[in-house]
Structure 1
Amino acid sequence: MLANIVLRTVLKSSAGILRESGAVCSVLSAKPWTSNSALLGARVGCAAGSFAVLPPVRHYARAAKKRREGSESQLSDLPPTMLKMDYAAVPLAQTTDDIVKRLLSLELANHSEKLRLKTEQLIAKVQRDKNDRNSVEVRVAILTVKIRNFREHLQKHQKDKANKRRMLMAIDRRKKLLKNLRLVNYDAFETVCKQLGITYTFPPEYYRRATRRWLAKKAFCIKVFNEVQKQKKEERLMMKKSLASTDTGSH
């Protein structure tokens, strides 16, 4: 008896679904402006005895991603008509025709040539004399050009970890040079910061708490370092003695 009741309910529900699907099929067939894909889906649904499922809509026209506007490049003040650094002192390059001048100008120069010219311009602002190429001021100028170039590169390529590490190392070296220059010659330090547009921030005070554990660890590290230096010194003495003995034996 229970099985008969369950069978009747299943038949009634299936008959109701078939009636609803037939009504949907008749409505779709009555609309001639319906798309072919929709009619095909409706026919497949009617044949299967179920509701018609429309094909998924594919969003091909997506909005373009907005590019982040970076800061102005340090090379933007270089005019494209300026000659390259290798040809600026050649008098023949000044009197040649326009086509050759364009080939020798910065308009067709690569990025490295423009960086060289920018480096020379910053060096000329802070160098002590014309032959100065190794002073603290010149090294600060060279590091400044590198740091700004890395910064512009990282604004476009944010996941470039290697160049980010190089930029941080260059910043640390420049901080050390500026710190020493500030202690030795404050006037030169102020001139370099003003000419190169550097904002010097003072290093933070030593705020680490000197606990007993940290003091013991530091003393142990110093002791290990001294022992290693003693061993290296003894090894160098042994090497010198062995070399001296071999030289006397050969003679």
Structure 2
Amino acid sequence: MFSNIALRAVLKYSVGALREGVATPWTCCSALLSGTRFSGASGSFALPAPVRHYARTVKKKVAGPESQLNDLPPTMLKLDYAAVPLAQTTDDVVQRLLSLELASHSEKLALKKEQLIAMVQREESDRNSVEVKVAILTSRIRNFQEHLHKHHKDKANKRRMLMAIDKRKKLLKNLRLERYEAFENVCQQLGITYTFPPEYYRRATRRWLAKKAFCIKVFEEVQKKKKAEKLKLKQSAEAAKMQTTSP
């Protein structure tokens, strides 16, 4: 009963407001959506047209570095079953389970590491030479690069990658000084571009020049003092020797 009375009161109020020219909430909403101009008791004004929100352009994904595991065929057996002759004569279902088609990323990475080691190792049982260490670090660095391209905020793996790069630089530097032919072979087989470290350069300021001149002066004075002490010790040793030889 009370709901009917309230509904009648609302309808009566809306009809009276429309007759008097007062803008009701329904008329304001319709005018806002249509962008029309209407007049009220205080004067006429225009509502702005609705803003059209166009769809945003799709951002193009930047192509990352090519994965080092792309050249591994899916029919190749895993590292643990490659030397088993029975694994190559089984049926298709078992070979599929033992192949790289259903292998994990770590298993593929282990097989790739063995391939890089086989390229540069001195002999079949070589597992501790500089060339093998460079191959292992190269496989690890490329895996970090692929991971950081997808997860560029992973600072822990970025730190590990930079540490591995510095370690590989030191190994390549020592290998270049000791055996240059092996260094060239490793860079060619693994596709490494060796860059020389930049030369140390310091801008010569007045303060740096004054400090350098002071340090040189101190060094010369210290050398003079050491030279005088050595001469004094030599003379005392000669005098003692003369005393011991005299009758």
Give the equivalent residue in structure 2 for 1:101: 95
Q: Deviation of residue 53 (structure 1)?
A: 3.4
Using a 3 Å threshold, how does the CA distance of structure 1 residues 96 and 58 change in structure 2: closer, same or farther? Answer: same
Find the counterpart in structure 2 of residue 57 from structure 1.
52
Matched, 1:79 2:73: yes
C-alpha separation in 2, matches of 1:78 and 1:37: 63
Counterpart secondary structure, 1:148? helix
Residue equivalent to 1:233: none
Write out per-residue CA displacement over residues 126-176 of structure 1, whole angstroms, 9 at most, x where no aligned residue.
Answer: 112222111111110011111111222222333333222222111110000
Q: Distance in 1 between matches of 2:199 and 2:190?
A: 26
- Partner residue of 1:125? 119
1:92 Cα shift? 1.8
Structure 2 unaligned regions, length at least 5: 1-20, 22-29, 216-247
Conserved in 2, the CA contact under 8 Å of 1:46 and 1:52? no
| Cα 1:206/1:57, change in 2 over 3 Å | closer
Q: Which has the larger radius of gyration?
A: 2
Aligned twin of 2:219: none
Distance 1:36 1:78 in 2: 66
Q: Residues 36 and 188 from structure 1, CA distance in 2 versus in 1: closer, same or farther, beyond 3 angstroms? A: same
Q: Which aligned pairs between 1:13-24 and structure 2 lie closer than 5 A?
A: none
Task: Say if 1:92 and 1:62 are closer, same or farther in 2 by CA, change over 3 A.
Answer: same
Q: In structure 2, do the counterparts of structure 1 residues 139 and 46 end up closer, same or farther at CA, with 3 Å as the change threshold?
A: farther
Evaluate the alpha carbon distance shift between residue 106 and residue 187 of structure 1 in structure 2; reply closer, same or farther with a 3 A threshold.
Answer: same
| Alignment partners' CA distance in 1, 2:126 and 2:86 | 28
Q: Quote the offset at 1:200 in angstroms.
A: 1.2
Separation of aligned partners in 2, 1:95 and 1:132: 31
Letter in 2 for 1:100: V
Tell me, yes or no, if the aligned pair for 2:175 and 2:182 is still in contact at 8 Å.
yes
Question: Counterpart of 1:192?
Answer: 186
Aligned equivalents of 2:145 and 2:53: distance in 1? 40
Residues 31 and 47, structure 2, Cα contact 8 Å, conserved in 1: no
- Native 8 Å contact 1:126 1:141 kept in 2: yes
Q: Give 1:56's aligned amino acid.
A: V
Contact 1:126 1:191 in 2 (8 A): yes
RMSD: 3.1
| Counterparts in 2 of 1:37 and 1:84: CA distance versus 1, 3 Å | farther
Aligned with 1:88 (options 82, 85, 89):
82
Contact 2:32 2:47 in 1 (8 A): no
Structural mapping, 1:1-251, within 5 Å = 38-39=33-34, 42=36, 46=39, 50-59=45-54, 61-208=55-202, 211=208, 213=211
TM-score (norm 2): 0.64
Identity %: 71
Deviation at 1:54, TM superposition (A): 3.5
- Structure 1 stretch 69-78 or stretch 175-184: which is displaced more? 69-78
Supply the distance in 2 between the matched residues of 1:142 and 1:47 (Cα, whole angstroms).
82
Inter-partner Cα distance in structure 2 for 1:46 and 1:55: 19
1:75 is paired with a residue of what secondary structure?
coil
Normalising to structure 1: TM-score of the pair? Answer: 0.63
The 3 A distance-change label for structure 1 pair 206 and 38 is: closer
